[in-house]
Amino acid sequence: MSEPSENYGVKHTLLPTLSLFTSVGTLVCCALPALLVTLGAGAALAGLVSTASWLVALSKYKAWTFGVSGTLILLTGFMQWRTHHTPCPIDPEQTKACARLRRISLWVYWLSVIIWCIGFFFAFTAVYIFY
C-alpha cells in the first residue's frame, strides 16, 4: 500500500514546513519583543514595530496565533506518527528520496516544536517569572 511517489514529497514536506512557518511567526510576534525588552533594547523594538507594523496585530491576537500554530504542529505530529511505518516505493532511487524526505520532515517538525515552545514561554510564562 505505497503512496504514489509524486504526492509523497508534497504530503510529507508541506505540513511540516507550514508548521515551521507558523511557529516562527509565534517566535517573531512574542518572543522577539520580550527578548529585546529584556536586553534593554526598547528602542530597537520600537524601530522594529514601526517598520513591521503587522507585529502589533500578531501580538494582539497571540492566543489565536499560538492556537493555530499549535494545532498545525499537533496535526503534523499526528501525520508523522501515522506515516512512520508506511512503506517507501520499491525503486531504489525513490526509496532513497523517501528516506531523505522522512528525515528532513522529522527535523523540521522538531525544530517547529522547539521554536513554538520558546515562543510560548516568552509569550505566556516569562511574564510571571521575570516581572
- Count CB atoms within 10 A of the CB of residue 118: 16
Give a yes or no: residue 1 inside a domain: no
Single out the residue of 9, 22, 16 nearest to residue 75, CA to CA: 16
Per DSSP, 88 falls in state P
Domain encompassing residue 24: 8-79+89-130
Give a yes or no: residue 84 inside a domain: no
Distances (CA, A) of 8 to 55, 75, 99, 101: 35, 17, 11, 9
* Domains in the chain, number: 1
pTM: 0.70
Per DSSP, 90 falls in state S
For 26-46, what is each residue's pLDDT tens digit?
Answer: 777 777 777 777 778 778 878
Give a yes or no: residue 3 inside a domain: no
For 62-106, what is each residue's pLDDT tens digit?
Answer: 888 888 888 888 888 888 888 878 888 888 898 898 888 888 888
Give a yes or no: residue 29 inside a domain: yes
Give a yes or no: residue 30 inside a domain: yes
